[in-house]
Structure 1
Amino acid sequence: MRKRVKLVLLSLMMLLLVGCVRPYKTPHIETIEPHQTAFLIPLVGDNKANQQEFMSESYLEERKVPTKEIEIPQRWVQTGRFNNQGQWRDSARLILVDRSPVTREWTQSPDTGTSSKNEGIIAESKESISFMVGVNASAQIDEQDAAKFLYRYNNKDLSYIMDTEIRAMVESAFVSNSGKLTMAEIIEKKAEIINEVRAEVIPYFEERGITITVLGLKGDIEYLNSQIQEAIDKKFKEEKALEAQRVANQRLIEEAEAKAKAELRAQQIINQKEIEAAEAKAKAAKLMSESLEFQIKLQELENQRVFVENWNGELPQIMGGDNGLLFNLPMNDLGK
Structure 2
Amino acid sequence: MRHFLGYVCTACAGVFIGSLISRQPDLLATQSRLPQASGDPNGKPSFSASQLRVDGDFLKREGKEVVLELPPVLVCDPLEHVLVINLEGEGGLARREHIKREFEKAGLKGRFHFWPAVNFNTDEQLAKEMNRKKCPCDAKKGCGLSHRRLYEMMLYEKWPCATIFEDDVTLAANFSTRVAAMKDSIPPFDVILLGYCPGGYKPRRGPKDQSSVPTLKYGWPGSCVHAYTISLQGAKTLTEANTPVIVPPDGAMDGMHHWGNRTRIHIDRSGGVFTGSYWYVHPQLSWQGVEADNLEGGV
TM-score interval (norm. to shorter): under 0.3
Q: Please, what TM-score do these two structures have when normalized by structure 2?
A: 0.20
Larger radius of gyration: 1
Considering fraction of residues, name the structure with more strand.
1
Considering fraction of residues, name the structure with more helix.
1
Q: Please, what TM-score do these two structures have when normalized by structure 1?
A: 0.18
